[in-house]
Structure 1
Amino acid sequence: MNRSDVLIVGAGPTGLVLALWLSKLGIRVRIIDKTSAPGTTSRALAVQARTLELYRQLDLADAVVQNGHRVAAANFWVKGGPVARLPLTAVGEGLTPYSFLEIYPQDQHERLLITRLEAFGIKVERSTELESFEETGDGVSAQLRLPDGQQEICQACYLAGCDGARSIVRKALDTDFPGGTYQQIFYVADVHASGEALNGELHVDLDEADFLAVFPMAEQGRARLIGTVRDERAEQSENLRFEDVSNHAIQSMNVQIERVNWFSTYRVHHRVADHFRTGRAFLLGDAAHVHSPVGGQGMNTGIGDAINLAWKLAAVLSGGAETRLLDSYEPERIAFARKLVATTDRVFSLVTAQGPMADLLRTRLAPLLIPKMAAFETSREFLFRTVSQITLNYRTMALSAGVAGHVHGGDRLPWAHDGEGDNYESLKQPVWQVHVYGDTSDEMIAWCLEHHLPLQVFAWRPAFEAAGLGRNGFYLLRPDTYVAIAENSSDPKVIERYFRDHAIRTFFTNP
């Protein structure tokens, strides 16, 4: 029998990131996938700023940015011409080190993650399926079907279902997956093309006919087309070819197709599982929640699930925390998933709605409103904060406490940057740590030293005040860089009580 700390089912971005984070933290993982090879086609394209911030902990952010494509602007078309342009080059400037929209297709993304995982000595076990599993007294016993057809019993302490919308893990747990399916059929095509819409920027057609978005890729002249299939064509979606859909919208935007690399159709769902955890089994990514592609949130949300769960599993498995720390995974992630599905559902319904009123909103009002929104810094900033996931927070959750400055327990630590540097350098290590902006007490310094808890004390600067950080208090940061405690005092007993109340015993583990 093979035994691991965590058995991960599914080797998409969510499963691979979970495996990477756990491996970095010294946890033994086994990752299986029923496919024979990594995907060569994908719909997920955007890597959001919050994901890139967290990727610094795995030294992945630079590789994604260098090999991806930074989108300069989004252009909106009506009746054969661009009517509005939304600059994106520095739309989040001052809020994050990654103040832009990054395109990095999922298939390339997966290859990067697989390469990094292999550096830890972990290989994805391909053509290997989970058939069933049961919880035992001290773990999970899983029955696997190997590539040669043989069966194997795998023992693990925990099981992570990262196996997509048709999750075997979710079905085995008998967890409901309420929601629905949109009526529209979508297509995605990877093409080489030319024309005004192939200038390296994002282009979206708002016309009353077919919806179409042209996403730029790093390679010159290459783009990803995502569009709707309407009228009688939708009834034959399983047999559709690219030639069947390449009519009005593509012609309207004057996209000259030179080569189609691949093409597929799909339906969009909006669902959230009733539970993200049952005993020793967890659901992550599309196994837990699926939603429309609006805003490029899906893959990034799954990666967020993986990072949230990874440090908690590592703490429990290393003996640094009691198992009740794992109780925080579901409430923290399910609340965001439900809010995200509701939000993207409203936007998606507006973008794809049919009828005279919907056409009026898209073709007449949107071209007027978009330039006005782009002209105001506050509206641009609101849009970026929302889409980039930097406003995602765990306020009011069990692991979050206090307020200092404008920062609450559960918030992402604000990024503060000026000519003297930024406050994110120490966040590259996925460990508990304390940040102080201004002065702190001798007691705090001595306590952190005694308990091997990293302490970063920054001399007070205007950049910290501008970021909303409080002066002379402290922020206890979780390994995933969210604020656990926001406190105005410099009393280490506040930290001591927090760890005791949450049964966290080991504060610092060198990964």
Structure 2
Amino acid sequence: MKACDVLIIGAGPTGLVLALWLSKLGISVRILDKTAEPGTTSRALAVQARTLELYRQLDLAQAIVQKGHQVPAANLWVKGEQAARLPFETIGEGLTPYPFLEIFPQDQHEQLLIERLALFGVLVERESELLGFLDDGEHITARLISAEGRQETCVAKYIAGCDGARSTVRKTLDFDFSGGTYQQVFYVADVDAEGPALNGELHVDLDEADFLAVFPLAGTGRARLIGTVRDERAEHAETLTFEDVSSRAIDHLKVQVHKVNWFSSYRVHHRVAEYFYRGRAFLLGDAAHIHSPAGGQGMNTGIGDAINLAWKLAAVLTGKAPESLLETYEAERIGFAHKLVSTTDRVFSFVTADGPIATLVRTRLAPLLFPKLTSLEPVREFMFRTISQITLNYRLQFLSSGTAGHVQGGDRLPWAAANGVDNFDSLANMKWQVHVYGTASEALVKWCSERGLPLQVFDWAPAHEAAGLGYNALYLLRPDTYVALAESSGNVQALERYFSERSITP
């Protein structure tokens, strides 16, 4: 019997990030996947700015930026002509070190995570499945089966269901997974092609034809087409070929396909699990929430789930926090999942709606209004903040307290580079830490030193004020870099109360 602290079911990006984060914090894990080998094709492409920020803690951000492709802008097309362009590099400038959309296909992404996980001596156990598990309140006893039919029992402190839309963990917990299925069938095609839409940017067709988005891949003339199939063709999704796909949208975007390297079709659901945890079992990623690919949010949200849960599991397993800390995982993530599903559903419904009125709005009104709206800086910034997930916050939650400057407890710490110093550099440390922008009191310096709590003091600069940070304020940061406490006075007693009231040891 192989025991572990955390048994992870599913070795997609969500499960791999959870395993990697826990391993780096010294927690023993097992990670299983029923597939014989890592995926060689994938649907997820986008790595959002917030994911790259968090990946600094795993020393992954630079590798992904170097290996992937930076998308500088998104373009909307109507009736065969480009109608609007949204430049990421200018609207995200000053908000994040990564003011772009990063394209890094999921198969390459998973391989990178697997390689990094192996450095900790953890290998994915392939062709292994979870049959079921029991939670006795103290441990999880899981029944596993290998490809050869050999069964074994694994005893773990916790189990994490990262096993996708058909999650065995979720089914064992008997959680409702309500939602619906889009009538359209999606297709994905990796192609060698040419044309104005093969310029390294993202292009989306808003015509009355089937929805189509062209995502650039690394290398010249390579792209991924993601589109929809309607009418009677959608009734035979499992047998579709690229030749069955309507050429209207492809022609509208003036894409000349020379070679199809991979093609797949599938149906998309939009669902959120009733709960994200019970007892010692947790749901993450597609096991907890699935939605349309609009906005490239799915994989990034699963990775966010993993990072949110990982530091909490580590704190509980090392005796630095009570088990009640784990309740905050669902509280902080389920609301975002519901909002995300609702938002992506509205966006996708808009770009694929049938009927004369929908077509009029999409092809006539939207192209007129969109350029005018996106010419306004607040609108452009809102769009980038939303898509990049840097606006995601945990305000008004149990672990969030106080306000200082424009920053509230639960916010992502604003990024600011001043005097040659990047305030995110210290966030590579997976520990609680304190930031002060200005001057830290002697009492605060002493308190942090006595408890081994890292204290970062930044010389006050206009960039800090512009980012919304408060002069001489105290910001307590969680191990996942979100602001736990914002205290404008810099009072050390506020720190003392924060940890005492939550029974957490930094």
Q: Using structure 1 for the length normalisation, give the TM-score.
A: 0.97
Question: Is the CA contact 1:21–1:307 (under 8 Å) kept in the aligned structure 2?
Answer: yes
Once the two structures are superposed, the pairs formed by residues 64-463 of structure 1 within 5 Å of their partners are 64-463=64-463
Secondary structure at 2:156 match in 1: strand
CA distance in 1, matches of 2:88, 2:369: 17
- The answer for unaligned runs of 5 or more in structure 1 is none
RMSD, aligned α-carbons: 1.1
CA distance in 1, matches of 2:212, 2:56: 34
- The answer for unaligned runs of 5 or more in structure 2 is none
Q: CA deviation at 1:419?
A: 4.2
Deviates more, 1:187-196 or 1:151-160: 187-196
Aligned residues: 506
What one-letter code is carried by the residue in structure 1 that aligns with 2:470?
A: G
Question: Is the CA contact 1:268–1:291 (under 8 Å) kept in the aligned structure 2?
Answer: yes
Aligned to 1:479: 479
What one-letter code is carried by the residue in structure 1 that aligns with 2:306?
A: A
Q: CA deviation at 1:493?
A: 2.0
What one-letter code is carried by the residue in structure 2 that aligns with 1:289?
A: H
Aligned to 2:59: 59
Aligned to 1:12: 12
Q: CA deviation at 1:253?
A: 2.1
Question: Is the CA contact 1:86–1:370 (under 8 Å) kept in the aligned structure 2?
Answer: no
Q: Deviations over 1:290-311 (max 9, x none)?
A: 1111111100000000000000
CA distance in 1, matches of 2:275, 2:156: 21
What one-letter code is carried by the residue in structure 2 that aligns with 1:50?
A: R
Secondary structure at 2:90 match in 1: coil
Q: Deviations over 1:132-173 (max 9, x none)?
A: 110124210001001321001011000000000110000000
CA distance in 2, matches of 1:202, 1:490: 45
Q: Write out the 4+ residue segments of structure 1 that deviate beyond 3 Å after TM superposition.
A: none
Question: Is the CA contact 1:416–1:464 (under 8 Å) kept in the aligned structure 2?
Answer: yes
Secondary structure at 1:192 match in 2: strand
Q: CA deviation at 1:422?
A: 2.0
Question: Is the CA contact 1:315–1:321 (under 8 Å) kept in the aligned structure 2?
Answer: yes
Question: Is the CA contact 2:88–2:384 (under 8 Å) kept in the aligned structure 1?
Answer: no
Question: Is the CA contact 1:91–1:100 (under 8 Å) kept in the aligned structure 2?
Answer: no
Question: Is the CA contact 1:49–1:96 (under 8 Å) kept in the aligned structure 2?
Answer: yes
CA distance in 2, matches of 1:419, 1:350: 45
Question: Is the CA contact 1:87–1:374 (under 8 Å) kept in the aligned structure 2?
Answer: no
CA distance in 1, matches of 2:246, 2:347: 25
Q: CA deviation at 1:445?
A: 0.8
Question: Is the CA contact 1:410–1:483 (under 8 Å) kept in the aligned structure 2?
Answer: yes
CA distance in 2, matches of 1:85, 1:405: 34
CA distance in 1, matches of 2:158, 2:497: 29
CA distance in 2, matches of 1:350, 1:76: 14
Q: CA deviation at 1:260?
A: 1.1
